Amino acid sequence: MAPILLTDTEFKKIAALVYDSFGITLNESKKNLVVNRLNKILRQRGFETFLQYYNYLVKDKSGKELQQLANSISTNHTFFNRESDHFDYYLKTALPEVTKTIRDKDLRVWCAASSTGEEPYTLAMLQQEFFGHEYKTWKAGLLATDISEKALIKANAGMYPKGEVGKLPFALKNNYFNKVGDQFMVNPDVKSEVAFRKLNLVKPFQFKKPFHIIFCRNVMIYFDQPTKDDLIKRMYDCTMPGGYLFIGHSETIPRHNCPYKFVMPAVYRKVL
């Protein structure tokens, strides 16, 4: 069956809606991506043109169709141990640095683009490795957020193929997963420490307390510079003094417009 064609005018309307709603920039090179990812939805809804779909999105007050659009447009490519040097730095430097200043044993960590869960679960495992027997005396769970409900459902399940889990260091795979058939499930002690929530990064945050460490990796590549600048400022405002921000290695924060102190590539810190 031939795909429903997307005119330039229709693409501009949908791109503007995606930008206004999610901060994601869709340039002309993404036109085929939009066609490929949305054609199934159009056919399911009985639409013959993208303009009909766009008008339907704008009129829908429930927010369900916009969420479906977010599920389809957002890219949830991730894997265990991605950019592994970040996890080494987290365990050996960031955690020791921030915990020595915490008096109430309340460590607050936010994984701001958690996708299907590999990153926050790894952080939770490393926290348990770091604290060891002292872990139960700390409030050290973490918040994991994403805009895609589809990704969050998979993350909550905590079930991954053998090949994916195999990318982790042996000790983490051996200590924090249970084999279920030909797959591996994150064990309950780790799952219970990660709270998954839906959150749109371009909307105002409503956190009660600031975070000691924020991971926001490989999501700002989809934002234009003004959106990035605004997000970085808002993350800075909800970072504890001495706290860390980790971004993706393919991302940069302009030195002249960065409230954080540069530590190393893709790692920043809020000055004490």
Identify the DSSP state of 251: -
Burial of 106 (0-12, 13-18, 19+ CB in 10 A): exposed
Query: Coil, strand, or helix at residue 106?
Result: strand
Find the length of the chain. 272
CA distance 40 to 124: 37
Instruction: Please identify which of the residues 45, 103, 106, 146 carries the catalytic annotation.
Output: 146
| Catalytic residue list contains 146 | yes
CA distance 220 to 231: 9
Instruction: Please identify which of the residues 37, 60, 229, 230 carries the catalytic annotation.
Output: 37
> In Å, how far from its chain's centre is CA 207?
16
| Catalytic residue list contains 43 | no
C-beta of residue 18 within 8 angstroms of C-beta of residue 73: yes
Give how far Cα 140 sits from Cα of 109, 127, 133, 143, 231, Å: 8, 7, 13, 10, 25
Identify the DSSP state of 204: P
Encode burial over 183-207: b for 16+ CB neighbours within 10 A, e otherwise. ebbbeeebbebbebeebebbeeeee
Beta bridge partners of 194: 142
Give, rounded to a whole angstrom, the gap between the first and last alpha carbons of the chain. Answer: 60
Active site residues: 37, 146
